[in-house]
Amino acid sequence: MLTGEAKPIKIVLCGEGGVGKTSIAHRFTKGVFYEVMKITVGIEHFTKVLEVNGKHVNLVLWDLGGEERFRFLAPVFLRGARGGVFVFDVTREDTFLKIDEWYSIYRKYVGNAPAVLVGNKIDLEEFRVIFREHAEDYAKSRGFIGYYEVSAKNNLNIEKPFIELVKHIISEET
């Protein structure tokens, strides 16, 4: 039995441009994948109502363009966030190395709100340069609540990081 009204929870998607944040958001909230995606200019919003632990949760995803020119929006973008999803492309080491910078900005404006690390594009296994064990070790060392590998293109594991993050947020409230 579900209880209560859908409660809004703001989750921010952080990471470099081209890692698939918008593709993940589209796949998670609308069930679609666009082969060609234009870069996010500024901020995009997505919503999805979930059932987590018998409660309706209204998830509001904020997707900030990953390019340097949009970083000035970070304080507004991050304000009120209850959790973060940090995305990198498993085929591009530079996107993994930039997670520290994103995480530092997040911590500055959001404090200790929980976050998950997500390696996207696992459908491109033959081009992988960041391996699961390395990303898991990194996630543990930085205080992420978990590391998840996904493919927005092939719809693999897309819901798991969001569900686990929301479960964590809800458990902190009780």
Separation of CA 13 from chain center: 4
Strand partners, 119: 88, 149
Q: Nearest CA to 27 among 48, 10, 8?
A: 48
pLDDT at 1: 40
Token pair 């976050």 is found at: 115
Sheet holding 83-89, edge to edge: 43-52, 55-64, 3-14, 83-89, 115-120, 147-149
Q: Is the pTM of this model over 0.95?
A: no
Instruction: Render pLDDT for 119-158 as a digit per residue (tens, 0 to 9).
Output: 999 999 999 999 999 999 999 999 999 999 999 999 999 9
Residue ranges of domains in the chain: 3-173
What CATH homologous superfamily does 3-173 map to?
P-loop containing nucleotide triphosphate hydrolases (3.40.50.300)
Strand partners, 50: 57
Q: How many CB atoms lie within 10 A of CB 97?
A: 12
CB 139 within 8 A of CB 147: yes
pLDDT at 126: 98
Question: Which percentage of the chain shows pLDDT scores above 90?
Answer: 70
Range 78-102 average pLDDT: 96
